[in-house]
Amino acid sequence: MRSRLVAALLALLCAWPSLAQDRANLRVFVGGQQRPDIMRELFREYEAANPGVKVKLEVGGASSDLHQKYLNMVLTARDTSIDAFLIDIIRPAQFAAAGWAEPLNAYLGNDLETALGGYLPAYRAANTINGKVIALPALADSLFLYYRKDLLEKYGEEPPKTWPELARIAKKIQAGERNPDLQGLSFQGKAVEGAVCTFLLPYWSQGGEIIRDGRFAFDRAKAEAGLDMWLGMVRDGVAKRNAAEVSTDDTRKEFQAGKVIFGVVWGYGWNHFQKGADTKVSGNVGVTTLPAMPGGEPVSCMGGWNWAVSAFSKQKEEAVKLIRWLSTPYVSKQLAIRGSFHPAFTSVYEDPEVLKAVPWFQDALPVVATARARPITPVYKQVSDALRINTNVVMAGVKTPAQALDEIEQRIARAVRR
């Protein structure tokens, strides 16, 4: 018995150095749309540079909604097993209000300004809630106006600067092509998140706000002008009659099939248009800023993802170190080159190696630079529901813009007052 005990103690002592080296075992959650294969490669690189740290990747759903549902379940249960995760750009205020994300200010300390200084300003603002840094930018994105370069050149037109100009160019090309299946413009009118951006694009272009300093701030006249503009596109045959049924990927598919002159789509569309197996538009696609309302400024709707640390993690220090590395220009560059993900750093868009791998980023930067975050509020779901549902019913002809705006005002004002 004594000899067996001594042998066990000797084995434990021999194993002690390797056990001591395992400083942290971090578990990180990402979505299926965020290229887990590339993330694994990056985690291995981090492990090699940080002996004793192991990073386990957990992969969630293929959509933002499924991703969020899983995090809601885990974090509501105060589960300590996940240390860090990606959250959608619309979520930081919600996570801050729920107490789910660890504020990073204390961990960044004197490096706070240095750590945040290189980001595109809109991403820094979207991740800072009441002075607290809730997350660090990981992947940027925005809505782009894609257009048929070949058709605009054929008819001697330049990319439009305003929505009325877009309508004029679209009608000219439609008349010249005499193709009843050729849409002038495709945008999202279905009651999905894309319809929130549909509402906001012309409204923001006129300087409109939804929430300012935590309070409801709404300009009804500007909102009505925006909805009237979209209705005019449908009424004049620039957009198709069933615009209320168009989702984001419907626009992508129709543009890719050569059935659209102008398409409002997120950054993922570019690779489909150029390299998709069934694309009809490869080599004939241009990208530019979203048109403005007359007298307004071009504005895009911001997308993207951010790294956050769970408030319930038992390894917060190590988790913060990891996400700080994941939110650096170096990692952003790797994600751009390997996965065509948009950086949150201006400098990465201008990097020669990035431009060699993703040449269209030189045209993407001016668009991303105009992007604004959707309303930053812990009651974003209620805001989103009010905007997307009422934009949809206006496009469907169920309500007039005035009737829809009555409901938008009531629902958002009530949610913000809670």
- The domain locations on the chain are 23-140+303-365, 142-301+374-417
pLDDT band at 213; cut points 50, 70, 90:
confident
Residue 388, pLDDT > 70, answer: yes
Map residue 294 onto helix, strand or coil: coil
Residue 1, pLDDT > 50, answer: no
Percentage of residues in the chain having pLDDT higher than 70: 94
Sequence-ordered list of residues with C-beta below 8 angstroms from that of 286, at least 6 positions apart, any chain: 146, 147, 148, 149, 152, 159, 363
Residues 140-163: tens digit of each pLDDT: 999 999 999 999 999 999 999 999
Residue 118: the pLDDT is 87
142-301+374-417 CATH fold: D-Maltodextrin-Binding Protein; domain 2 (3.40.190)
Residue 23 to residue 215: CA distance in whole angstroms = 45
Residue 42 to residue 59: CA distance in whole angstroms = 15
Sequence-ordered list of residues with C-beta below 8 angstroms from that of 212, at least 6 positions apart, any chain: none
Residue 41, pLDDT > 50, answer: yes
Residue 112: the pLDDT is 83
Which of 105-114, 174-183, 197-206, 328-337 has the lowest average pLDDT? 105-114
Average pLDDT, the chain: 93
Residue 22: the pLDDT is 61
Residues 62-96: tens digit of each pLDDT: 778 888 889 999 999 999 999 999 999 999 999 99
Residue 385 to residue 24: CA distance in whole angstroms = 41
H or E segment to which residue 75 belongs: helix 64-76
Entry pTM:
0.91
Residue 198, pLDDT > 80, answer: yes
Residue 16, pLDDT > 90, answer: no
23-140+303-365 CATH fold: D-Maltodextrin-Binding Protein; domain 2 (3.40.190)
Residues 334-375: tens digit of each pLDDT: 999 999 999 999 999 999 999 999 999 999 999 999 999 999
Residue 17: the pLDDT is 43
* Mean pLDDT score, 376-392: 96
More confident site: 390 or 21: 390
pLDDT band at 418; cut points 50, 70, 90:
low
Q: What are the distances in angstroms from CA 9 to CA 13, 20, 289?
A: 6, 16, 68
Residue 116: the pLDDT is 84
Q: Which of 240, 210, 236 is nearest to 223 (CA)?
A: 210
Answer whether 23-140+303-365 and 142-301+374-417 agree in fold.
yes
Residue 346 to residue 416: CA distance in whole angstroms = 34
